[in-house]
Structures are given as structure tokens and as C-alpha cells.
Amino acid sequence: MTRPKHRPLTLRDVSEACGVSEMTVSRVLRNRGDVSAATREKVLTAAKTLGYVPNQIAGSLASQRVNLVAVIIPSLSNMVFPEVLTGVNKTFDDTPLQPVVGVTDYLPEKEEQVLYEMLSWRPSGVIIAGLEHTDATQAMLRNAGIPVVEIMDTDGNPVDAMVGISHRRAGRKMAEAIVKQGYTRIGFLGTKMPLDHRARKRFEGFTEGLTHAGIEIEDREFYNGGSALAKGREMTQAMLERSPDLDFLYYSNDMIGAGGMLWLMDQGVDVPGQIGLAGFNGVELLAGLPRQLATMDACRFEIGQAAAQIIVDRSALPEDAEPQTPQQITLAPKITYGETLRRRG
Amino acid sequence: MTRPKHRPLTLRDVSEACGVSEMTVSRVLRNRGDVSAATREKVLTAAKTLGYVPNQIAGSLASQRVNLVAVIIPSLSNMVFPEVLTGVNKTFDDTPLQPVVGVTDYLPEKEEQVLYEMLSWRPSGVIIAGLEHTDATQAMLRNAGIPVVEIMDTDGNPVDAMVGISHRRAGRKMAEAIVKQGYTRIGFLGTKMPLDHRARKRFEGFTEGLTHAGIEIEDREFYNGGSALAKGREMTQAMLERSPDLDFLYYSNDMIGAGGMLWLMDQGVDVPGQIGLAGFNGVELLAGLPRQLATMDACRFEIGQAAAQIIVDRSALPEDAEPQTPQQITLAPKITYGETLRRRG
DNA sequence: CTGAAAGCGCTAACAG
DNA sequence: CTGTTAGCGCTTTCAG
């Protein structure tokens, strides 16, 4: 009754248990080729009663096909990438493809290493965050011979496919919206992450947009680690003590924006009459704040879905046919004005 | 100069490129056995210039060893599981082991299916959330012949190892703390997830604790989906309109608790003088709220670390030796009183 | 220190 | 519809 735990069952065990050749058992288990209903039945019951689980390692080696897709992201610590993953999962759910996630902590060398390890499983595709990689990483991506989708950001040149938004444009658009509402004395608050290229590009686009209107950022503050909500409070306080005349604060993400808003309201500051606010990301959280924070959606879920779809489409293609669907997708996020970006009548 | 993209390099390619036998190349690449510094050098340069990436599929098949660990969790949509994953990653970072994540959406059948797919890769271990599984899932876990760590919850019987907290106790402890502070008219607000066993157990422990003090929950409200912060507001409003005499609200997670707090403060309610509040999870977010919400840490990061450590220890062991380290770890979360659980002087 | 042979468990490609 | 034969790319084992 008890089977030794140390030897997993093989096709052969099932084959012997039901008196059908290994090959036919394999066919039944994969729904390949025609098998008579009778043998099919026999095989299925045998496999189930034995508790057989096929060995994909052997299967993939033999078939030279792997249903794994490498998904490489910088972090799991905010909701951004988990949401992307949810989109990826959603698309892959209807396919045999399976995402395998690697986390880089925003470190280029770790990204290189993670990619190397994932490629050693010969995945069917790679979804990787960002366009900035080490030379070695780029070389691996180019030589892997599988579809590669770089996600989140479209300000740059992809190795292959690309799905994301232009963070530079996002920053610029926000600058334009703020200027249009008549704000002129503007502060910027963001992360101190030299390796977060997307945050950097948003900042660049933002200053660009202001410059175009003849405005310069009046004060700026950067943070590192810790609770974003608490940091938002602290930084806002620090900045307003230093520059009390500001009439708008642009936060590089919604969480610090929310923290700033809570602090301002504690202080009895009139938002947005006295000071306007905007964040970035469009996180679900915002719906519960005392005022709806202005923001811009980063299209996280859609990016995950679209990237996964590109892999799905490409892996169905006959090796090196030209893909028919677009391989470079730039989504255009819209500004949500909320209640913190309109000058009061 | 250009290599055909469709055939990944093999050991043989490297072997030919440097005139060393495949076997020795393999040894060098794995740091196994003694190889002369000279050949070692030759092999390494050849491998690097060619851009060779070993094929783990073949390697694992041959060695009967897989450095993958299946991690099966219900969701990525709140910060709970990403934090567990961060703990897991942390521990595995110093080892050859690699987590592969599967998401079940709290659906037992999906859990079954995800586990089946992961087991087909013959992982070195399984880390799986919860103690409640379908019979088939339990059978698979039992028969897999690999270490299995069930995490998050310790109210029940594990298949093998277990790391978590007692959610029943967590609920009871919170009830006791609330009663001790003199609150008596208590409302409960939580999720409407019949499949979230841990939330259920907390609720049960909570009512148990109150009953023991001769108190009954006076009102309750459950929600489903949507922004937790916003739901917290809505539910709190609904409950207080229905039961204006409540003097304490226990929320099954910090996000809805935070929403409730924000709503109460908007209304000018005195917290905790008029109404006390508590949540659950100990999320980082809380640090930035206007009042620090009372809560109880779920030890997410530690759970991930400890679970991974069990796998690491066990995979170092000679097949079926008795593990020397504890295999059933119950962490004891502490209450953070914050500023919402103390009756004011 | 290095190499040759024999599989790991499965599937592709043919035969019947 | 079913079975047979070769490997997939690597590592184990055993000889030198």
C-alpha cells in the first residue's frame, strides 16, 4: 500500500499498471494523437490511482519545448509589480505557458545573474522590466533565440518587443496640466533611486514640461526606503518649512503623495486651494483618501497582459515567421484630476 | 560571427571550441572535482566568449536534482504574500535554490492544479500557504517525497512541516486586549471570503475571546473586492449608522482599518476616546496614518524566511535522516497598541 | 587530473 | 489506433 517515497513514479510504472505501452500512455496524458476511448480510460484510471505526476524535465528535454516564461522584475515591495504579474497570469491562464518570476532589487548585476539562471531553463520567452540593462544582459537577451518583451517603459530601444508607457511623456503631461491650472511655484518629491530609470525619466519629462512653460522647479526632496506614507508626511513637512510659498507638490508615486496629503490636512492646509497635489501610478488605495489625489495611471495590469499576449502569439508562430501583431506597444496613460489638481473656482 | 538563433549552444560546442572533453568542461562549469588551472582557464574563456548558458533541463534530468522550490500562495493583490516571498527570497539568496511562485486565487481546485504543474518539475520542496487543501492536494503533498512546509497558519495538522502563527489565538488575544481596555460594545468588519481560512479563524478566536469575557459582538459587516481603504470607509459609515453606540471596531485587516480611521476622523469622531480601533497585519503603511492604528503583526517576512530555511536544511540532509531543526514553528505575534486601543486617561 | 560509456524519463518519427 | 527505436544534453560512474 505504501510506496517508497524516494522514487517518483514514471511513465513505465503507469504503463505496467495498465498494460499499455509507454508511448500510448504518454499520448493519453498529453491528449495527443488518437487513442481509443477504452485504452484512454484504462490509462487515465491507472495514472490517477497511482497518483502519477509526469516529469516535465524529461518531457521538455525530449520535446525541446518548455512551457516556462521568465518574468524579471525589480521588486515586489510595492504594488506595482505584483499588479503587472496579475496581468501576466491572467493572460497565461488560458495557455500552457507558466510564468517564473525573478526579482532583481533594481541591481543590474543581479538582473544579469537572474536572467542567466532563468535562461538555463530554456524558457519560451522573457518578460523583463525596463530598457536599461548591462551589456552582458543585452547580449543574453539577443542571443537567447526566444521572444523578449521589455516592459513598463518605452523611452528607449528594445532588444525585441516592448510594452509600456513613456515615463518622460507622463512627467511632461503632468507638468502641462499643472501649469494649465495656474500653479507656478512647484516642488518635486521622489525616490532617491539612481537605478529607477522610470522615476528618473518622469522627473526629466516633468522639468522639461515646466521649462517649456518658463517655469523652474522651486524645491525638491528625495527619500530612500522606509514607509512611503510616512516619508510623504516627513518630506512634505520638510519642504514646506523650507519653501512655504510653494503652491503645488508633484510626488513621484501615489503613496508618498497620500502621506503628503494626510499631513497637509492635519495642518489644516486647504488642498487644492492653497496647495495642489499630484502623484503617479493610479493605485487602488487612492479611492479611500479624504481627497482623491490627482494621478496618472501606469497601466500596470494592461502591460502585464499585453506582454504575455505577445509571448503567447509568438510561441504559436512557426519559428521565425514575422509576427503579425504589434511588437512595440506604447500605452497612453490619462491624468486623473481627482480633487487636488484643480484650482478652486 | 552570427550564430543561428534557433540552436542554443551545448556543452559539446564549448568542448570543441576549447579542445577539452565535454566531461571536463562540465566539471569546470560546475566547480566539481579537480581540474588543472590551465584547462579551467581555457574552458571558462571559451564558454564566456561563446556565450554558453548551461541547460538545466538536461542537467537536472541527468543528476536527478532540481534546484527549484515551489511556493504556492493565494494572491498577490495585497502586500501580505509579496512580503512572505521577500523573506523566502532572502533565505534562498545564499543557496542554489530558486523559488517558483504559483498563485491560487484562494480557489482549492486551482491550488490543486497549480501544485500538480509545479510537482511535474520535480522541485526540491514545496512551500504552500494554509493547512486546508483538497484531498487530492494533500495526497500529492504526502506522496511527493520532498519537504513540504505549510505556512501562515498553525491551527491544524500539517502534512509535514509548518511555520506560521495561530490566527485563532491572534483573534483571541486582540479580544482580550480590547476588553481589558474597557471597551464593551464591539463591532467586527472583515472580508466576505469563505475560503480565507485564516480570516475566519481570527474571527472565531475573536468571538471566543469576547465570549469568555461575557461579551458578544454587537454588529458585523463583510465586504468583497474593491479598494480596501474605500471599503473601510463605507463599511464603517454603514455600521455606525446602524449601531451608533459601538465603542470599538475590530477590522480583519489594516487597510480597511485605515479607511475606517480616515472616515472617523473626517467626521470629527474622537479616536480612541469615543471609538477604539484595531486592525491586523502590521503593514508598513500604518506609520503614515494620522493616528497609529492598533494592530498585530502577522510575521510575514519571518514566516517566509523560516519556511525557506526548513527547505534548505532538509535538502542538505541525506535523504531520510531526521531533521534536527524544529519543523513546526509557531511564531507569537505581539499586539501593537498604537494610539487607537487605549482608552484615554 | 581527464576521458568514455551509459543512462536520467520522456517524446519525435516512423512502422505496423 | 498502437508500438518500436532513437535520441534530447547533461551527469554519474568507472577507467585510465
Which residue in chain B has the smallest CA separation from A53?
Answer: B120
Instruction: Give the one of A6, A58, A285 whose C-beta lies nearest to B319's C-beta.
Output: A6
Q: Are strands B248-251 and B186-191 parallel, antiparallel or unpaired?
A: parallel
The CA-CA-CA angle for residues A305, A308, A311, to 5°, reads: 150
Tell me the three cell numbers of residue A320: 521565425
Cβ <8 Å between A229 and B53: no
Percentage of residues of chain B with pLDDT beyond 70? 97
pLDDT(A3) > 70: no
pLDDT given at position B283: 85
pLDDT given at position A308: 98
What is the pLDDT confidence band of residue A345, given thresholds at 50, 70 and 90? very low
- DSSP category for residue B325: S
pLDDT given at position B345: 45
- A37 backbone dihedrals φ, ψ, rounded to 5°: -55, -35
What is the pLDDT confidence band of residue A194, given thresholds at 50, 70 and 90? confident
Cβ <8 Å between B6 and A320: yes
How far, CA to CA in Å, does A276 sit from each of A211, A236, A245, B97?
19, 12, 12, 49
Show which positions of strand C are touched by protein (CB under 7 A): 1-13
Q: CB within 8 A of A193, min separation 6: which ones?
A: A106, A199, A224
pLDDT given at position B2: 44
pLDDT given at position A79: 84
pLDDT(A188) > 80: yes
Average pLDDT, chain A: 93
pLDDT given at position B147: 96
Cβ <8 Å between B101 and A101: yes
Nucleotide lying nearest to B52, CA to C1' measure? D9
pLDDT(A2) > 50: no
- Rounded Cα gap, residues A226 and A322, in angstroms: 47
pLDDT(A289) > 80: yes
Tell me the three cell numbers of residue A81: 509589480
Cβ of B12 < 7 Å from strand D? yes
Tell me the three cell numbers of residue A200: 528618473
Would you call the peptide bond into A194 cis, given omega within 30 degrees of 0 as the criterion? no
Query: Please, how many CA atoms are within 13 Å of residue A50, restricted to the half-sphere of its CB?
Result: 22
Instruction: Give the one of A6, A61, A117 whose C-beta lies nearest to B98's C-beta.
Output: A117
Nucleotide lying nearest to A59, CA to C1' measure? C10
pLDDT given at position A227: 82
Nucleotide lying nearest to B63, CA to C1' measure? D11
Low-confidence ranges of chain B (pLDDT < 70): 1-6, 318-320, 344-345
- Rounded Cα gap, residues A280 and A255, in angstroms: 9
Cβ <8 Å between B320 and A5: yes
pLDDT given at position B320: 66
Cβ of B36 < 7 Å from strand D? no
Quick check: A209 and A175 in contact, CB under 8 A? Answer: yes
Cβ of B49 < 7 Å from strand C? no
- Please state the length of chain B: 345
At A296, the amino acid letter reads M
pLDDT(A112) > 80: yes
Instruction: Give the one of B54, B55, B288 whose C-beta lies nearest to A232's C-beta.
Output: B288
Contacts of A122 in chain B (CB under 8 A): 8, 55-57
Cβ <8 Å between B76 and A66: no
Cβ of A64 < 7 Å from strand D? yes
pLDDT in tens, A213-259: 999 999 999 999 888 899 999 999 999 999 999 999 999 999 999 99
What is the pLDDT confidence band of residue A147, given thresholds at 50, 70 and 90? very high
pLDDT given at position A344: 53
pLDDT in tens, A67-76: 999 999 999 8
Q: Of the candidates A67, A283, A281, A322, which has an alpha carbon nearest to the alpha carbon of residue A190?
A: A281
Quick check: B286 and B258 in contact, CB under 8 A? Answer: yes
Locate cell 503617479: which residue? Answer: A280
Closest CA to D4 C1' — which residue?
A23
Which residue in chain B has the smallest CA separation from A137?
Answer: B51
Contacts of B140 in chain A (CB under 8 A): 51, 53
Contacts of A51 in chain B (CB under 8 A): 139-140, 143
This prediction's pTM:
0.93
Cβ <8 Å between A77 and B89: no
What is the pLDDT confidence band of residue A330, given thresholds at 50, 70 and 90? very high
Q: Of the candidates A335, A178, A170, A331, which has an alpha carbon nearest to the alpha carbon of residue A252?
A: A170
Instruction: Give first-to-last CA distance, chain B, whole Å.
Output: 80
Cβ of B120 < 7 Å from strand C? no
At A12, the amino acid letter reads R
- Interface test with chain B among A14, A53, A94, A320, by most B beta carbons within 10 Å: A53
Cβ of A34 < 7 Å from strand D? yes
